[in-house]
Amino acid sequence: MPRASSSSSCRASREAPQRRPLRWAAPSTAVMKFAGLAGGIGSGKSTVAARLVERGAVVLDVDQISREVQQPGQPVYRAMVARWGDAIVGPDGALDRQAVAHRVFADHDELAALMAITTPAIEASIYARVAAHHDTDRVVVLEAALLARNPRLYGIAGLIVVDVPEELAIRRLVTGRGMLERDARARLANQPPREARLQAADFVIDNSGGLEALDEQVEAAWAWLGSLPDGRLEARPSPAGPSPPATGAG
Ligand code: ATP
């Protein structure tokens, strides 16, 4: 009896640490909502994103992620410097994005090399960050200018497109951001047409009014996000899939 008792208590104490994690890891019924946020340059994506965050959304900015994986010390940084040399490193040791852009955008092979170096790391980071919220009741929004080219990337359930007439976007970029008008025009000319974005949209935010009008639309978008089906994160079919959402050198 003492033995049995001691053996059973011994078993209990060995099993306990295994049972506890199982109980803690019991499947949650919550599943995230998963959406995309796209729009032309200067359309107001960041302004909308900030308002969604105020309402409780988790916004993942693909351009920001792309910059993070290119920080000094990261494998992507080392691979880029190994290929293009110190000419792409600024005086502070960080990548000189202009120099990178200069190196790759006129040369298809170099651009393909940049994609091959950066895309897997960007995708892995996006995937991990979205996955961290999968079994929660959060609204997860992936913000990327080019998502309209592939609105269901990563299993996104719905795409919000922020829309403004091009002349208004240019005016805001010049007055609000201090961008040179010719640079704003050049960047706008480089992006897919407004109509293509609108066609890809599941929900359009018209940002041609003031900030108060924008708030009302963000409120409607927030309600729409809550009505999306439960999110299902999917791996991107790379490398044969469509263009990635960001190159990190634009
Ligand atoms: P980018 O493509 O460069 O990342 P974006 O789409 O994120 O730009 P924002 O930075 O949000 O655009 O907005 C561009 C500029 O327009 C900013 O200066 C912002 O403050 C201003 N802006 C955005 N929406 C409005 C609005 N409804 N009324 C007035 N100004 C606005």
Contact criterion met (CB below 8 Å) for 165 and 207: no
- Nearest protein Cα to ligand 1, atom 30: 172
In a domain, 241, yes or no: no
What is the CA angle 60-62-67, rounded to 5? 115
Burial 74-97, CB ≥16 within 10 A → b, else e: eebbebbeeebeeebbeeeeebbe
| Least-confidence region, from 4-13, 186-195, 206-215 | 4-13
Q: Whose CA is nearest to atom 15 of ligand 1?
A: 172
Name residues whose C-beta falls within 8 Å of residue 94's C-beta, 6 or more positions apart in sequence. Answer: 71, 72
Nearest CA, atom 18, ligand 1: 176
Band (pLDDT 50/70/90 cuts) for residue 246 is very low
Q: Tell me: pLDDT of 242 over 70.
A: no
Which is the closest atom of ligand 1 to the Cα of 207?
27
Residue 250 located in a structural domain: no
How many Å apart are CA 12 and CA 14, to the nearest integer? 5
Which mutation among 43, 52, 172 tests ligand 1's pocket best, with the greatest number of atoms within 8 A of CB?
172
Atom in ligand 1 nearest the alpha carbon of residue 172: 16
Looking at every residue in the chain, the average pLDDT score rounds to 86
Return the minimum-mean-pLDDT range out of 76-90, 153-167, 201-215, 223-237.
223-237
Per-residue tokens: 235: 């791996």
Contact 130, 154 (CB under 8 A): yes
pLDDT digits over 74-108, tens only?
999 999 999 999 999 999 999 999 999 999 988 99
Q: Please indicate, yes or no, if residue 234 is contained in any of the structural domains.
A: no
CA 149 to chain centre: 14
- Listed residue (88, 91, 141) closest to 117, CA to CA: 88
Within a domain: residue 79?
yes
Cα–Cα distance for residue pair 15/47, rounded to 1 Å: 52
For residue range 191-212, what is the model confidence (pLDDT) as tens digits?
889 999 999 999 999 999 999 9
Domain span at 117:
33-226
Read off the pLDDT of each residue in 178-202 and give the average, rounded to a whole number. Answer: 93
- For residue 200, tell me if it sits in a domain: yes
pLDDT reading at 13 higher than 60:
no
Helical (H) or strand (E) element with 217: helix 211-226
Q: Where are the alpha helices (DSSP H) in 25-165?
A: 45-54, 62-69, 75-84, 97-104, 108-131
Instruction: Among 37, 47, 61, 62, name the best residue to mutate to test ligand 1's pocket (greatest count of ligand atoms within 8 A of Cβ).
Output: 47
With a 6 Å cutoff on the Cβ, whether 217 touches ligand 1 is: no
Q: Which of 12-16, 151-155, 160-164, 177-181 has the lowest mean pLDDT?
A: 12-16
**Residue 190, pLDDT score:** 85
**d(C-alpha 43, C-alpha 54), whole Å:** 19
Our count of domains for the chain comes to 1
- For residue 225, pLDDT over 60 is answered with yes
Please, what sign has the CA dihedral across residues 181, 184, 187, 191?
negative
Q: Which residue has the tokens 């269901």?
A: 152
* Residue 173 alpha carbon, nearest atom of ligand 1: 15
Point out which residues pair with 143 in neighbouring strands: 37, 61
**Residue 13 included in any domain:** no
Query: Residue 68 maps to which CATH number?
Result: 3.40.50.300
Cα–Cα distance measured from residue 119 to residue 80, given in angstroms and rounded to the nearest whole number = 12
Q: What is the pTM of this model?
A: 0.83
- Residue 116 falls inside a structural domain: yes
**pLDDT confidence of residue 218:** 98
Question: What tens digit of pLDDT does each residue of 21-77 get?
Answer: 455 555 567 899 999 999 999 999 999 999 999 999 999 999 999 999 999 999 999
* pLDDT tens column, 127-143: 999 999 999 999 999 99
Q: Does some domain include residue 122?
A: yes
